[in-house]
Chain A
Amino acid sequence: MKLSVESRQAITDAWLVGPATLALILFIFLPVAIVAVLSFTDYQFGATSFNWNGLENYVKLFSSSIGRRAITNTLIYVAIVIPFSVGFGLLVAIGLFRMATWAPLLSNLMKTIYFLPVAATLVAMSVAWQMVLHPSLGIVNQTLLSFGMQPQNWLSDRGLVLYTLAVIGIWQSVGYNMVLFLAGLSAIPTELYDAAEVDGAGGGWSRFWTVTWPMLGPTTLFVMVVTATNAFRVFETVATMTKGGPAFASDTLVYALYREGFVYFKAGYASAITMVFFAFLLALALIQFRIVEKRVHYR
């Protein structure tokens, strides 16, 4: 049997893109469609049948105190992590960028240190953080005591736990943002600084406000969105250190979807949580696309 050139080409194309395409459909698009459908049902894992229940899962998520808690906790967490992680990332990047001119080795060493938490296994580091924050054996409380201050239950105090997790979130992401800002800084043409000097903006502060900050504007927006996207997915620290507790004080969207879906097996309700989480991330992705578009127009 002789095949025409066209059909031979078509077979080659199918052979090259087929497996990847099939995998994308099987493991991304089909599951997304199914999770969307499930979110309108009362399906439970293991059940033989299910009923449509319209928006009930969504109503439950937004009206029950536990559901609302997961959403507001996530938003609070993200709202704390963004400014501090981006702010510290920017400060560290500027500091190390300047230091590189007179102490390149030290600057590089510090860059390595700041990036360390990004590469380290977060679950293992969370186990380590548990010991750092241990009520009696942890170094934080021991230090507080030695200064005559009140030790705290960082991970089991309802009023504190979310902030503790946010601090760990910041600790984990500063180095990542630093790297993004360092890339942004080295892309600023030095002529701009020379020009600023000619115009009388020679000091550190005026250099920053006249050149660095405006040039880093798009990078900063971008870094903020990336930070928000990662913060929304907070799971490892919660699952390792608090399991959403005490009394749901550190429950977050991804942890709630894990608990409802895979501990209580409420697939329908967990699917609704998933869709809400997905909606937040899609909104962020939309913002990110617009920023990238703007950035291209700049050049």
Chain B
Amino acid sequence: MKRLILSRLLPTILLVLGAAAILLPFVWMLSLSVKPRDEIFSTAIHFLPSRFEWENYAFAFTQTDIPLFLWNGLVMVAGILFFQILFAVPCAYALAQRRFAGRSLLFGLVVAALLVPFHVTAIPIFLAFAKIGILNTMWALILPFVQTAFGVFLFRQFFAQIPADLFDAARVDGLGETAIVWRIAFPLALPAATAFAIFSVTAHWNDLFWPLIATTDPHLATPPRGILYFRDQESGDNVGPLMAAAVIITAPLVIAFLLAQRKFIQGIAAGGLKG
């Protein structure tokens, strides 16, 4: 009995305490987002408000640009993902299934590119975008990320495991290489594509660094950039709606994560390993 307590009860208590610490900012954010103003500014500790103030959410949705920020975020992550897939999949297919001059050199470039964090390339890309005058456009938010060495790498690993006979059979049937890529290779790679999509969407939805640099127009703000505009405008006075906004912005990915946990963990874990 004593051993059971030591081996089960104690670790469980510690794990629950840890989980509570992890949840603290989430709970506090949710709590403030439904509190009436006077209760936010009271110093007594209450997680549950005396009455739910849904007005905070109504304010965030109607009196602020939060819906626009969500839309901008959606357009940006969809645009980035579209071009990443469009460019990475054919390249990965060729690297895995075709023989051509410079193939190992290209693969070397892909691996080398994996070592470059985005922050390193920001200054020259900013300069170039300023020169051609596309700062403060949606393109400025999308273009730098159409390349994805990680995507090429991930899809190549996947395509390399598919037997070459399969593609030969398709060629015999008269399919061109482009058709093979999109009608045979890509559908087979859907598990890899899902993991990649989760990684890409999460990374870019959450990114603040590049939107902060590439856009100064509040109408182009992505959710993280936008919530900072909102916060700075209100100068900390409108805590309830601000927390509601934070909940709204965090919700899409958190809900997606709760619905597809295994996929999510795979996608993000795979992405992180690129270093």
Contact = CB atoms under 8 A, between A and B. Distances in A.
Interface of A: 9-10, 12-13, 15-17, 19-21, 23-24, 26-32, 34-35, 38, 45, 88, 91-92, 95-96, 98-99, 102, 106, 110, 112-125, 127-129, 131-132, 136-137, 139, 142-143, 145-146, 171, 174-176, 179-180, 183, 204, 225-226, 229-230, 233, 235-236, 239-240, 254, 257-258, 261-262, 267, 270-271, 274, 277-278, 281-282, 284-285, 288
Contacts of B213: 258, 262
A204 to B, nearest CB: 6
Contact of A92 (B18, B100, B119, B246): B18
Contact of A115 (B149, B243, B257): B257
Given A23-B146, A236-B208, A45 B45 contact: no
B256 to A, nearest CB: 8
B167 interface: no
Interface string B9-47: 001101110110111111011001000000011011100
What 3 A-B pairs come out closest when comparing CB atoms? A123-B224, A20-B91, A23-B147
Contact of A262 (B15, B126, B247): B126
A28 B149 contact: yes
B202 to A, nearest CB: 7
Nearest to B14: A95
Contacts of B145: 27
Contacts of A262: 126, 212-213
A99 B11 contact: yes
A10 B100 contact: yes
10 contacts: A17-B106, A26-B147, A32-B120, A112-B258, A119-B256, A124-B29, A128-B243, A131-B32, A179-B269, A258-B213
A119 B25 contact: no
Interface in B31-66: 32, 40-41, 43-45
Contacts of B227: 123-124, 127
A114 B261 CA distance: 12
B261 A123 contact: no
A196 B246 CA distance: 50
B181 A16 contact: yes
A27 B93 contact: no
Given A121-B253, A131-B28, A145-B43, 7 more contacts: A19-B87, A28-B116, A34-B127, A121-B250, A122-B208, A137-B40, A183-B269
B254 A119 contact: yes
Contact of B90 (A17, A120, A204): A17
A5 B143 CA distance: 35
B239 interface: yes
B233 interface: no
Contacts of B152: 20
Contacts of B32: 131
B169 interface: no
Contacts of B130: 45
Interface of B: 7-8, 11-12, 14-16, 18-19, 21-26, 28-29, 32, 40-41, 43-45, 86-88, 90-91, 93-95, 98, 100-101, 106, 109-110, 112-113, 115-117, 119-127, 130, 143-147, 149, 152, 177-178, 181, 202, 205-206, 208-209, 212-213, 223-225, 227-228, 231, 239, 242-243, 245-247, 249-250, 253-254, 256-258, 261, 264-265, 268-269, 272-273, 275
Given A110-B19, A137-B43, A240-B228, A270 B243 contact: no
A5 to B, nearest CB: 13
Contacts of A38: 123-124
Contacts of B127: 34, 45, 267
A38 B127 CA distance: 11
A148 B265 CA distance: 42
B230 to A, nearest CB: 9
B22 A171 contact: yes
B12 A124 contact: no
Nearest to A117: B22
Nearest to A257: B119
Contact of B28 (A32, A128, A146, A267): A128
Contacts of A21: 91, 106, 109
Nearest to B249: A124
B246 A124 contact: yes
A278 B15 contact: no
Contacts of B206: 121-123, 236
Contacts of A233: 117, 119
A167 to B, nearest CB: 10
A218 to B, nearest CB: 14
B22 A142 contact: no
A226 B45 contact: no
